[in-house]
Amino acid sequence: MDLLTTSEAADYLRLGERKLYELVAADAIPCSKVTGKWLFPRHELDRWVLSGLAQPAGMVPANPPPIIGGSQDDLLEWCLRRSGSGLASLNEGSENGIARLLRGEVAAAAIHFHSAQEDEEPANLAAVRATPRLHDAVVVAIARREQGLLLAPGNPKGLRSLADVLAGDARMAVRQKGAGAQMLLEVLLARARAVLSDLNRLDPPCLTGPDLAAAIRAGTADCGIATRSAARASGLDFVPLLWENFDLVMRQRTYFQPPMQALIRFLAQGELTARAEELTGYDTTPAGLIRFSS
């Protein structure tokens, strides 16, 4: 049996803990007291909510707005349009996407986390497990993406690696803190025993991969980290660094709702693979697979 603590149950139901205690005192919610602590069976809470027998004042609506927050991605944007899901996007980076998900401001977050310990567990799954208020998370694969250095056409600076960027005077466009590409840059810098201040950085940070590509195309930066598809769309050179998992994280209740199911069904269609090949830099083999369910 999956038992939630008071704080977990309050978050799961989107209630304040004070309101939850009022329901407990009124014997209006399924729970039990074990060694002085209240515990709430999650499946009984689900039945309680779905029954419609009680709608306590102060309960936040269970359905978040039909928006995918988190990381920007050309293939995902195309899927949202073609799937007929009715889902929109709000691109602010992986960490901001998770933050909005926790606040109930988006239905799901598109994520691509990176960490120095990624060999132990995929970084996206580790990040979800480490988020206390995501105890009811589902992670669905979209694709694997190729990340690398974006360079001006013809690579006039002769850059072939991050070591070249650090050794020369190249100006590097960077992303905002919490963006997946910025996490990747910080991991690579740590491996090179360098820090962000060692870079000749473009300021302010770019908010999306296409914004970073546009800065290089305009000549205000010489390089930056983004996807191969972003490089191709802007006519830039590309030096590959690695392949990453690009996933959607959502709450279990959202997974079963029609808009999300429409998107997930579309991910399994051959049309996705054809579009990914056009954009370049994608492996859609895992598309639609559940990579984690708490």
Rounded Cα distance, 90 and 32, in Å: 40
Residue 187 near residue 114, CB atoms below 8 Å:
yes
pLDDT value, residue 280: 97
Residues near 66 by Cβ (< 8 Å), separated by ≥ 6? 85, 86, 87, 88, 107, 259
Helices (H), the chain: 6-13, 17-25, 42-51, 74-82, 94-102, 123-129, 162-167, 180-191, 209-218, 228-233, 252-255, 258-267, 270-279
How many other C-beta atoms can be found within 10 angstroms of the C-beta atom of residue 106? 28
Digitized pLDDT (tens) for each residue of the chain, 294 residues in all: 588 899 998 998 888 888 888 888 888 888 888 888 888 888 888 877 776 544 454 444 457 999 999 999 999 999 999 999 999 999 999 999 999 999 889 999 999 999 987 677 899 999 999 998 888 899 999 999 999 999 999 999 999 999 999 998 899 999 999 999 999 999 999 999 999 999 999 999 999 999 999 999 999 999 999 999 999 999 999 999 999 999 999 998 899 999 999 999 999 988 999 999 999 999 999 999 999 997
Residue with tokens 């830099």: 281
Residue 131 near residue 125, CB atoms below 8 Å:
no
How many other C-beta atoms can be found within 10 angstroms of the C-beta atom of residue 270? 8
What tokens does 17 get?
């803990």
The pTM assigned to this predicted structure is 0.80
34 phi and psi angles, rounded to 5 deg: -125, 120
Instruction: Find the helix packing angle between 270-279 and 74-82, rounded to 10°.
Output: 140
Closest Cα partner for 214 from 196, 231, 228, 199? Answer: 231
pLDDT value, residue 246: 98
pLDDT value, residue 47: 77
Q: 124-145 burial by CB neighbour count: b if 16+ within 10 A, else e?
A: bbebbeeeeebbbbbbbbbbbb
pLDDT value, residue 29: 87
